Structures are given as C-alpha cells and as structure tokens.
Copies of this chain bind each other. A is one copy, B any other.
Amino acid sequence: MSNIPYKTYLDESEMPKQWYNLRSAMPNKPAPLVNPGTGQPMTAEELSGVFCEELVAQELDETTPYIDIPEEIRSFYKMYRPSPLVRAYCLEEKLQTPAKLYYKFEGNNTSGSHKLNSAIAQAYYAKKQGLKGVTTETGAGQWGTALSMACAYFELDCKVFMVKVSYEQKPFRREVMRTYGASVTPSPSMKTEVGKKILAQHPGTTGSLGCAISEAVEVAVTNEGYRYVLGSVLNQVLLHQSIIGLETEAALKKIGVKPDIIIGCAGGGSNLGGLIAPFMRDKINGDLDCRIIAVEPASCPSFTRGKFAYDFCDTGMICPLAKMYTLGSGFIPAPNHAGGLRFHGMSTTLSQLYHDGYMEAIAVPQTEVFEAATRFARTEGILPAPESSHAIKAAIDEALKCKETGEEKNIVFGLTGTGYFDLVAYQKYNDGIMDDYIPTDEDLEKGWAGLPNVE
C-alpha cells in the first residue's frame, strides 16, 4: 500500500479563502440570460427584483477570477469543511485495478450533500441585504434542507415549496426542514395566485418542479423583504461550489497526485461545475492534460441528447431564458427515475464548455447506477446518493478499463452526498423492480416543441 492516507484533510488554515470564477478562464463566455419579454440580455436591475443584489453581481461577473469568501461564510464552512478527499483503497482492491481512485466526499453534513456550500452563501447575502427571508422550491429535498440549515444559522425566514408528490412521499426530508425552522408548503398550494390557478385547472395534481418554482418566485416578488434563491444551474451557484474543486486541487497537491480523469454527476451542473473549476482552468490554459467527464441519467440526457439552444429554465416559463443543452422545458423525466438530476437543461457555463469540446459526457441507465452504488456501499462503507452514484458508475467503468490496459490512471470523482433519504429507490433495486426508462426520439421532439424563438 502506498503512503497516501485513506483520507486527506486540509487544515483549516489551508481552506480556500476565495471562490474561483471559472467563466474568467473561458475563451467563449456562456451566453447571457435573456428576458423572455424583450429578447434582450437580463440587466442587473431586472434580476434584482428576484435575486439578492450581491448574488446578481456574481451572476453577471464573467471576468473576475477570484472572489473573496466572506468571513462569516468561512466560519460556517468550518463546521463541516474541509471535506475529505478519500483514496478508495477498498474499492480498488475489490476491482483489482491498477488505477488509483479518489473521491471528494461532500455528504458529511446534515443536508447530506454539497448543496450547503451555496445555500450558506446565498443566505449570507440575503441577511447582509437586510432581508427578512428567502423562498425556494425543492424536489428531492436536498436543496431545501441545505437552505433551511443556512437560514437557521442566520435567523432568516425560509419558505420552501416542495413538490407535492415529494412532500407526501418524503415526510422525513420535510421533517428535517421543519426542525431547522423552515415552513414547508406542498406545491401547488392555495398560498399563491399561480398555485390557485394550477389547482383550478388541474385539480388533484401532485405538482412539478416548474410549478414549485413559479410559486416560490411569486412569493419572493410579492412580499416585502424576500428574495428567491436557487440551488443549481446559475453561475453564482457554480461559483460557490468551486470550494469543492479548490479543496480537491489543494489535497491532490498535498499528496502529490495529478488527476488523469475527473468525473462528476450532472443535473443542473452545480456539483460538476464546482468540482472541475480549477482543473478546467488548467486544461483551458494547457497546463493540465486531463479528461473531464459529465455523467447524466439516460432518462434525462441533456448533454448527450439535448439541443444547445435558448430555453426557459422552468416548466412554468416565467424565468429568464438560458442558452444551454436542453431537452425542452416541457420535458419531464419518467416518474420512476430515482433521485435528482431531473432538470431538463444544464448550467450555461458547462453547456458552453461542452459545446467547445473541453469535456465529455455520458449517460447511464438507472439499474447500472444502483448496481455501482451497492458495490460502493459494500466496499467503501458509504451509502451513496443516487445522484452521486452516476459518477461512481463511470469511475468504476474507467477503473475496469485500466485493468484491461494495465494503466495506473488517477481517477478523481465527486461523491456529492449520501442516500439516507433515498431508500425507497434502493428498495426498488433490492427487490429487482427498478426499471430503465429511456426517452424515445418522439419524447424529445415533444419536449423541444416549446423552445422559444431566440438565437
């Protein structure tokens, strides 16, 4: 065994004091958000009605490479960060691979995922702006949990609209949010105009993420002292999540390891964008020769089968348009698809990088993902989130290729979270009744039918 430890922790003094803004290194910047009414790029003023001011500034800043992490956020980070970079010795042995596997584990906090990194930042700026509270939507519940934790810390009010079907099927997620003092409303609700309208049109609907977004935005813009916050997709979120990549970079340096392959799961792109940030910079600059792989579910394949086009970010079509790889805002993944990674689009930053050939993408079917998850749980002792398990699946496949070729590649992947609240999905897998729905070409054509006419 090498002298690299199982877990590499940075000292608190080595923790990043700045986030890294990946856009600053990009030769082609991501296309701007566009106002669906005017067809023009969204201005700071327009965005400020919905988002906190400093977050709008971060959203629009594509040139500043490093942005200071405020002291208060760094204090909070110290409660659960630095997160460990783990050498997967046990998995390597089980696979009998010459490859070296490393994972950056973001699940050791009560939100159960990396989402807390951006939630605390967004809550901080809301507090600094003197707001009373924030609103958001949550589907699987990780983002809502992270945001409630952050709001409890800064004593901000937190209103979460939770897709009704999740609210009913995941009472424990809801209960964690309540324990942190958040109000959780099943969506659609009678609390908003848009909710009432939807309920009138579709009585008995169990809701959708798009509808929950609409309700959260409505409450933010119609209540004095509230703004809306979002857990993925946006540039500001990728900025905050760069803490993952910066810590990974520092830890790899500490143990003298150069990554050959970096792998992350991709839904809206928050984890992947954060993990790869400094490595992508080096790759763009020609300082690092490294493959970067996005892994998405075959049931919601934005990168691998999507169109690179302007589209709405929400099903309700009230948010700005973003140029991204998209399945169409009307696309809804199969209901039996477990966990997150259900967003129809993708971060504009990652979309541009993929379009420009800086990264690869693959799509994997659900059963194989849970097979990899179970294998990982049994050897590495961590029950992974279904989302994270997409990256595990790809990492295992790459490690097995190394077994054939004899290459000792360094493979680094993001383990974004734990699966403690996803056991209904694990149960389906254990019972052998999980299925692998893959959208047909017709499904995709339907999704694209609503694409707006913006170039």
Could you say how many copies of this chain the assembly holds? 2
From A93, which residue of chain B is reached at the shortest CB distance?
Answer: B75
How many angstroms between the C-alpha atoms of A377 and B145 in the bound complex? 12
Given A180-B378, A381-B109, are A175 and B78 also a contact pair (CB < 8 Å)? no
Contact B6–A179 (Cβ < 8 Å): no
From A373, which residue of chain B is reached at the shortest CB distance?
Answer: B179
Stretch at the interface among A27-35, A252-260, A294-302, A421-429: A421-429
Q: Which residues of A (92-122) have their CB < 8 Å from a CB of B?
A: 108-110, 112, 116
Secondary structure dominating the interface of A:
helix
Contact A178–B430 (Cβ < 8 Å): yes
Stretch at the interface among A7-15, A284-292, A433-441, A444-452: A7-15
From A149, which residue of chain B is reached at the shortest CB distance?
Answer: B381
Min distance, Cβ A431 to any Cβ of chain B, angstroms: 9
Contact B381–A80 (Cβ < 8 Å): yes
How many angstroms between the C-alpha atoms of A421 and B172 in the bound complex? 8
Query: Is A418 part of the contact surface with B, judged by Cβ < 8 Å?
Result: yes
Min distance, Cβ A423 to any Cβ of chain B, angstroms: 4
Encode contact with B along A323-358: 1 for CB under 8 Å, 0 otherwise.
000000000000000000000000000000000000
Given A79-B6, A378-B181, A381-B153, are A426 and B110 also a contact pair (CB < 8 Å)? no
Encode contact with B along A147-174: 1 for CB under 8 Å, 0 otherwise.
0010011000000000000000001100
Query: Is A319 part of the contact surface with B, judged by Cβ < 8 Å?
Result: no
From A9, which residue of chain B is reached at the shortest CB distance?
Answer: B9
When distances are taken between beta carbons in the complex, the residues of chain B under 8 Å from A69 are none
When distances are taken between beta carbons in the complex, the residues of chain B under 8 Å from A172 are 172, 420, 423
Given A78-B6, A180-B378, A374-B179, are A427 and B110 also a contact pair (CB < 8 Å)? no
How many angstroms between the C-alpha atoms of A179 and B176 in the bound complex? 24
Contact A79–B381 (Cβ < 8 Å): yes
Contact B179–A377 (Cβ < 8 Å): yes
Q: Name A residues whose Cβ lies closer than 8 Å to a Cβ of B.
A: 5-7, 9, 11-12, 75-76, 78-80, 89-90, 108-110, 112, 116, 149, 152-153, 171-172, 175-176, 178-181, 374, 377-383, 418, 420-421, 423, 426-427, 430
